[in-house]
Amino acid sequence: MNNLPGKTMRWLMLLTLMMPAASALAVSQIDTFEFADEIEQRRYRALIEEFRCPKCLNTNLAGSDAPIAQDLRKTVYRLVAREAMSDQQVRDYLQARYGDFVLYDPPFNARTWYIWLVPIALALLALLVLLRMQRAGQRAATALDAGQQAKLQDILAESARHPVQSSNR
């Protein structure tokens, strides 16, 4: 990468910076709903970003063109704007019908506990291994007994008498 001309490099960086913006544009579906105020609209936006489209594997309601996602956006609009539900009530409504799948944020329960606990366990394990490796390293560094010390002194003395020639001239 370093020997690319500066100009190309700059363009590449610019493209990389633009990528999130492009995907943000790509996922904004346009529905023509009317809201009483901006807060309501913002809540609707946040909710459709939050839920997962049941038909799609990894797209939220906001980002999907699937008919079911359109219907669920309509439903979220109805619940927020017409039935004045709170965000949590909307979440409960969708979860009751479509299950945990629609929530990107999986609940902690008998079926999902390991998703939450395994990373913590692995991190603790890694920390433990790291500590043990460090301690082992320290022990190796300090563990020269008297005999070894004497031998080391001999070697040092010997090399002082016959310095290693650093150059052949």
Partner 1 sequence: MSRASFYIPLAVFALIMGLGYIGFDLGARNQLPSALINKPFPEFNARLLDDAEQTFTRDNLLGKPAMVNVWATWCPTCLSEHGELMRIAAATDVVIVGVNYKDRPDAAKQWLAQYGNPYDWVLDDRDGLLGIEMGVYGAPETFLLNAQGEVVYKRVGDINPRIWRDELQPRFQQLGVSMSDDSADSTAR
Residue 46 CB, nearest distance to partner 1 (Å)? 20
Q: Which residues bind partner 1 (CB under 8 A)?
A: 54-55, 57, 67-68, 71-72, 75, 95-101, 111, 114-115, 118, 125
Residue 115, CA distances (Å) to 8, 107, 118, 119, 121 in order: 43, 10, 6, 7, 11
Comparison of 12 and 115: residue with beta carbon closer to partner 1: 115
Q: How far is the CB of 142 from partner 1 (least distance, A)?
A: 19
**Got the DSSP string for 47-75?**
HHHHBBPSSSSS-BTTT--SHHHHHHHHH
By C-beta, is 101 or 108 nearer to partner 1? 101
On whether the CB atoms of residues 9 and 1 are closer than 8 A, the answer is yes
Cβ at position 62, least distance to partner 1 in Å = 17
Q: Which residue has the tokens 């390293």?
A: 137
Which CB atom, from 55 or from 135, has the smaller least distance to partner 1? 55
Q: 94: which 2 tokens?
A: 């969708």
**Residue whose CB is less far from partner 1, 127 or 155:** 127
